[in-house]
Amino acid sequence: MRRPRLYGPALILGAVLLGGCASTPLQHRHLPPPEAGAATAVELAEVAFHPQQAYHCGPASLATLMNWQGEPVQPDELAPRVFLAGRQGSLQAEMLAGARRQGLLPYVHPPRFEALLAELDAGNPVLVLKNLGFERRPVWHYAVVIGYDRERAQVVMRSGTTERKVLSFRRFERRWQGGEYWAITLHQPGAFPAGAEEGRYLRAAAGLEQAGRLREADAAYRAAAARWPHSMTAPLGVGNVQYRLQRYEEAAVAYRAALERDPDSAAAHHNLAWALMRLDRNEEARRHALAARRLAPEQGEHYAGAWEALQQQDRL
C-alpha cells in the first residue's frame, strides 16, 4: 500500500496573519476600562531574569518563559537552536520551533494591546518583538512583559541587561507596533492562554505535531476538542496523531468524531478511509473515500487520494 498523505489542522486553518503597522493608531489610548474590582496593576515579580549576551535577546527571553513553565533551561542551551549568527539574532520561526522542541506550546496572540494585558492578568508573562530602530533601519529586540500599571500607563519588562525595565504605554507600543505586535506565551500542552481562540490554538497544536512532538500534540488536540465541542479540526488532529503512532483503531475513532461534528468534511472522510484501509476494512474505507472524492471539487482535489489508492489496489 502506498504511503498516505493525511490532511489536518495545518492545511485547513492556514497561516496566522500578522497585523499592525506603524501608521495605525495606538491601541492603548482606547483600552476599555477594567471591570469593577479588577486590578489596575499587575507585576509577575517571580519571573526569572537572564541578562542577555550580545544579540542573544531571543534565547534569554525564551528561557525566561520556559522557566516560568517549570523548564530549567538556560539561554546558553537555547542559543545553538534559535540564534542565527548570520543575522545576529533569532527569527520568530526559530523562537517557536525552540519552544516546541522543549515540548511546550507557543501561542501566537492577536495583535491587540488588550490581549497583552489579559494574559498578564491571568499570570502569563508575554514575550514580545519590538523594533528599537526605525522602519527602514530596524533594530529587532525580544523582551518579556511581566506587568503593567494602568494608572501610570506603564509596562514592566525583563529586557536586555535590565531586570525591571519600565516604559510608558506609548513608548512601549510604538516599539511593539514596529514588530507588528508579535507576542507569544508558552503553555504546557492542554493548558490555555486567557484569550484562547480556537483557530490560533489549533495552529499551535499543529506546530507540535509537525515538530514530531506527538504526545504533546495529542494532549493539545484533545483539550481543544473538549473546549470547543463543535470543532471538527480538533478531533481530526487527534486522529492524525494516532495514525502516525500506528494506532489505526484509535485514529478511526477520532476521525468518526470529526465527522459527527462536520459530516461534510472531505479531510475527515479521506483520513478515515486511510485508517480503515490499514485495518483491512476496505469496503468500509471505500464509502468514505468515495465521500471524500465527491467533496473534493469544493474542498480540494487532493482529497481524492484515498479513492485513487483503492482503485489502484483493485487493479492489482
Q: Contact 292/270 with Cβ under 8 angstroms? A: yes
Does domain 213-315 fall under CATH 3.40.30.10? My reply is: no
Higher pLDDT, 154 or 135: 154
For the entire predicted model, the pTM comes to 0.90
Q: What is the pLDDT of residues 243-262, one digit of tens each?
A: 999 999 999 999 999 999 99
Q: What is the pLDDT of residues 85-111, one digit of tens each?
A: 455 456 788 889 999 999 999 999 999
pLDDT interval class at 21 (50, 70, 90): very low
Supply the pLDDT for residue 11. Answer: 66
- Which residue in the block uniquely carries the three cell numbers 542551551? 77
Q: What is the pLDDT of residues 218-236, one digit of tens each?
A: 999 999 999 999 999 999 9
SS3 20: coil
CATH no., domain 31-187 = 3.90.70.10
Supply the pLDDT for residue 43. Answer: 98
Measured N-to-C along each axis, helices 57-68 and 92-101 cross at an angle, to the nearest 10 degrees, of 40
**277, 279, 293 from 284: Cα distances, Å:** 8, 10, 15
pLDDT interval class at 163 (50, 70, 90): very high
Q: How many other CB atoms are found less than 10 A from the CB of residue 315?
A: 5
- What's the DSSP call for residue 17? P
Query: For 34-38, 92-96, 183-187, which range has the lowest pLDDT when averaged over its residues?
Result: 34-38
Higher pLDDT, 191 or 91: 191
Supply the pLDDT for residue 19. Answer: 43
Q: Contact 61/140 with Cβ under 8 angstroms? A: no
Mean pLDDT, rounded, of the chain: 89
Residue spans per domain, the chain:
31-187, 213-315
Is the pLDDT assigned to residue 283 strictly greater than 90?
yes
**Which candidate, 175, 290, 156, 162, places its Cα nearest to that of 309?**
290
CA atoms within 13 A on the CB side of 249: 0
Cα 39–chain centre separation: 28
- What's the DSSP call for residue 21? -
Supply the pLDDT for residue 74. Answer: 92
Q: How many other CB atoms are found less than 10 A from the CB of residue 33?
A: 8
